[in-house]
Amino acid sequence: IAGITQAPTSQILAAGRRMTLRCTQDMRHNAMYWYRQDLGLGLRLIHYSNTAGTTGKGEVPDGYSVSRANTDDFPLTLASAVPSQTSVYFCASSDSSRGAWMGGYTFGSGTRLTVV
């Protein structure tokens, strides 16, 4: 593993089903984030975690939940998927311990989710 790994790469999901998107980083970054990317809307923050054991809501948190049991993993769960959650999901991390925002974020390659 180098950087951030997201799984699955893509998924087609029936509406109403539960789904967990996985995100693992090996850089020991303290902060992690989930974004969704939709055409014309750019990247929008869903949830974030500044450090293991803490989470916070972003711009579009409804319908999603996260947990941060350890430094490396930050799964995103859709409890009951709806078609409006069709999107590309990016996990990201940052090391704010080196001084706020030095180098910004490292992103994963994304999960393309289609809810039908």
Partner 1 sequence: GESVGLHLPTLSVQEGDNSIINCAYSNSASDYFIWYKQESGKGPQFIIDIRSNMDKRQGQRVTVLLNKTVKHLSLQIAATQPGDSAVYFCAAFPGYSSASKIIFGSGTRLSIRP
Nearest alpha carbon to residue 110 among 2, 3, 5 = 5
- Contact flag: residue 60 with partner 1 (CB under 8 A): no
From CA 36, how far away is CA 56, in angstroms rounded?
16
Which of residues 64, 74, 105, 113 is near partner 1 by CB under 8 A? 105
Q: Which stretch binds partner 1 (CB under 8 A): 17-25, 68-76, 77-85, 99-107?
A: 99-107
Task: Print the binding letters for residues 7-46 with partner 1: x by CB under 8 A, - otherwise.
Answer: ------------------------x-x------xxxx-x-
From CA 56, how far away is CA 26, in angstroms rounded?
22
Structural contact between residues 18 and 79, judged by C-beta atoms closer than 8 angstroms:
yes
DSSP state of 17: -
Which of residues 58, 61, 63, 75 is near partner 1 by CB under 8 A? 58
Tell me the DSSP string of 80-109. S--GGG-EEEEEEEE-GGGSTTTT--EE--
CB of 50 to partner 1, least distance (A): 6
Which residues of this protein are in contact with partner 1, per CB under 8 A? 4, 31, 33, 40-43, 45, 48, 50, 56, 58-59, 90, 92, 96, 100-101, 103-110
